[in-house]
């Protein structure tokens, strides 16, 4: 009878000794093993993993937030990370009480509820949106691609063709512009040529498969593909069909560029071709010499991207990058370029060409054309310097 008891004591002691031999890391690993513990139950609204921490960065005034382009994959920006810009705060609008009025030079003025708007045939399109001032203000001091160029994003937008609504209202002869007005405290108002309004402009109520977020214009916004972001009026409440631009605050005192001859550029609607290397980019660090894929994004307000070139020697030589599908008009196009880093200092650049042959310029060429007293439609080549320890920093001087 003693032998079994001693045997049990021996086995228990052996187990204690074995347990004492486990490191804290081993114990933590065992505790974190997802195959041993049931996971969390289903949730009412999806959340990302607790290990993913990338966020937008708001500015000090709280009037904008920047998309973390350096952490993006593919071409779609999640709604929660889409850049945001407003002029008087984000209004809280009850969609059941909201109305959209279309009036002016039309035969049949319309006042539409959200339910009535959604009864029209819907369309979904993938488009980028960029603030016209993106990249200019802190171009030399920005540490990351997010800080330098984070006022641009790309999403799927769903809504009703504005052209369809205008045809329903019956545009009168002589009309040539529309004026769109938002429901925010700034009463953001912009003039849009009727030819554009009838072409590809959306009255959007959806983004990436769900309702617009409040900061993106909930419950409905104007979306003007390829044009500077401020013209895509959020919290849209009124469209007036007129025979001339209304010269609003946002197209006279704002969103114009003073040129060297004293004249100002006005109604510079389309966003110019632009590309950015997002990896490796400022604030990142390469782990050591070896093969890497240089990756980035390119876009143009005039159509599709046809070519992206990459330089690893500060622009002395250029080679073609590979464009990843899909390549869509007026949308982000992701590009990749295989590179073997030898551990020496390198300056990485990219430049794109769109389907009309427009090429992304160097900064010195932009200054020659416009002078140095402007701040909108900033699209020059961005440089990132890779140092010998693998750290990457903004190389724009």
> pLDDT at position 15, please?
43
> pLDDT at position 8, please?
45
CB-based contacts of 194-198 (< 8 A; 24+ apart in sequence) = 194/166, 194/241, 196/224, 196/227, 196/269, 197/162, 197/163, 197/166, 198/162, 198/163, 198/166, 198/171
Q: How confident is the model at residue 3 (pLDDT cuts 50, 70, 90)?
A: very low
**Residue 6 or residue 91, greater confidence:** 91
Average pLDDT over residues 117-146: 94
With a cut of 90, say whether residue 80 has pLDDT above it: yes
28-32, 134-138, 170-174: which is most confident: 170-174
> pLDDT at position 28, please?
60
- Is 192 among the domain residues? yes
Range of the domain at 167: 57-255
Q: How many domains does the chain have?
A: 2
> pLDDT at position 6, please?
44
Domain identity same for 133 and 183: yes
Lowest-pLDDT choice from 66-80, 131-145, 185-199:
131-145
- Is 4 among the domain residues? no
With a cut of 50, say whether residue 202 has pLDDT above it: yes
> pLDDT at position 206, please?
98
Domain identity same for 221 and 303: no
Average pLDDT over residues 354-360: 98
Domain identity same for 74 and 192: yes
Domain's final residue, options 227, 255, 283: 255
> pLDDT at position 137, please?
78
The enclosing domain of 280 has a CATH number of 2.60.40.650
Domain identity same for 283 and 388: yes
Average pLDDT over residues 119-131: 98
Domain identity same for 294 and 155: no
Provide, rounded to the nearest whole percent, the portion of the chain with pLDDT above 90: 84
Q: How confident is the model at residue 397 (pLDDT cuts 50, 70, 90)?
A: low
Domain identity same for 180 and 66: yes
Residue 130, preceding peptide bond in cis (omega within 30° of 0): no
Domain identity same for 174 and 241: yes
With a cut of 90, say whether residue 190 has pLDDT above it: yes
Domain identity same for 341 and 279: yes
- Is 26 among the domain residues? no
Chain mean pLDDT for the chain: 92
Determine whether 139 is exposed, middle or buried from the number of CB atoms within 10 Å of its CB (0-12, 13-18, 19+): middle
Lowest-pLDDT choice from 118-132, 187-201, 247-261, 295-309:
247-261
Closest among 273, 251, 245, 248 to 264, alpha carbons compared: 251
Q: With beta carbons less than 8 A apart as the criterion, state whether 234 and 345 touch.
A: no
267-300 pLDDT per residue, tens: 999 999 999 999 999 999 999 999 999 999 999 9
Domain identity same for 330 and 376: yes
- Is 22 among the domain residues? no
With a cut of 90, say whether residue 139 has pLDDT above it: no
> pLDDT at position 18, please?
42
> pLDDT at position 25, please?
56
Average pLDDT over residues 80-103: 97
Q: What is the pTM (predicted TM-score) of this model?
A: 0.90
| Residues sharing a CB contact under 8 Å with residue 310, sequence separation 6 or more, in sequence order | 277, 294, 318, 319, 320, 321, 335, 337, 339, 348, 349, 350
With a cut of 70, say whether residue 88 has pLDDT above it: yes
With a cut of 60, say whether residue 379 has pLDDT above it: yes
Domain's final residue, options 255, 289, 312: 255
Domain identity same for 303 and 366: yes
With a cut of 90, say whether residue 373 has pLDDT above it: no
5-64 pLDDT per residue, tens: 444 443 444 444 344 444 555 556 555 788 999 999 999 999 999 999 999 999 988 999
> pLDDT at position 372, please?
82
Q: Which two tokens stand for residue 33?
A: 């093993």
Domain identity same for 147 and 87: yes
Closest among 91, 151, 167 to 271, alpha carbons compared: 151
The enclosing domain of 62 has a CATH number of 3.90.420.10
Domain identity same for 220 and 92: yes
- Is 38 among the domain residues? no
């Amino acid at each position: 009878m003693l032998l079994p008891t001693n045997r049990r004591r021996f086995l228990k002691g052996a187990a204690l000794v074995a347990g004492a031999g486990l490191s804290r890391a081993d114990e933590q690993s065992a505790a974190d093993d997802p195959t041993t513990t049931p996971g969390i139950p289903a949730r009412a609204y999806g959340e990302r993993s607790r290990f993913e921490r990338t966020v937008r960065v708001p500015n000090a005034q709280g009037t904008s937030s920047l998309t973390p382009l350096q952490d993006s994959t593919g071409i779609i920006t999640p709604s929660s990370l889409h850049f945001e810009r407003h002029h008087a705060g984000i209004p809280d609008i009850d969609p059941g009480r909201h109305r959209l009025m279309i009036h002016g030079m039309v035969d049949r003025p319309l006042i539409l509820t959200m339910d009535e708007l959604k009864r029209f045939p819907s369309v979904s399109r993938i488009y980028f949106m960029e603030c016209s001032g993106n990249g200019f203000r802190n171009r030399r001091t920005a540490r990351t691609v997010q800080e330098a160029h984070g006022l641009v994003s790309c999403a799927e937008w769903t809504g009703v063709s504005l052209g369809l609504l205008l045809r329903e209202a019956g545009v009168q002869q002589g009309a040539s512009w529309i004026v769109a007005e938002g429901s925010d405290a700034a009463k953001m108002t912009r003039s849009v040529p009727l030819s554009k309004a009838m072409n590809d402009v959306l009255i959007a109520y959806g983004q990436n498969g769900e309702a617009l977020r409040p900061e993106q214009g909930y419950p409905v916004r104007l979306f003007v593909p390829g044009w500077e972001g401020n013209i895509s009026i959020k919290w849209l409440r009124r469209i007036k069909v007129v025979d001339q631009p209304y010269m609003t605050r946002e197209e006279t005192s704002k969103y114009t560029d003073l040129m060297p001859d004293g004249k100002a550029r006005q109604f510079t609607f389309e966003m110019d071709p632009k590309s950015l290397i997002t990896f490796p980019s400022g604030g990142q660090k390469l782990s050591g010499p070896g093969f890497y894929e240089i990756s980035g994004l390119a876009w143009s307000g005039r159509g599709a991207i046809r070519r992206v070139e990459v330089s690893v020697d500060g622009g002395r030589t250029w080679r073609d990058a590979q464009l990843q599908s899909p390549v869509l008009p007026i949308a982000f196009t992701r590009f990749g370029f295989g590179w073997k880093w030898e551990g020496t200092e390198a300056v990485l650049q990219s430049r794109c060409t769109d389907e009309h042959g427009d090429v992304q310029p160097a900064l010195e060429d932009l200054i020659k054309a416009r002078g140095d007293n402007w701040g909108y439609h900033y699209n020059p080549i961005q440089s990132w310097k890779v140092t010998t320890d693998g750290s990457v920093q903004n190389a724009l001087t």
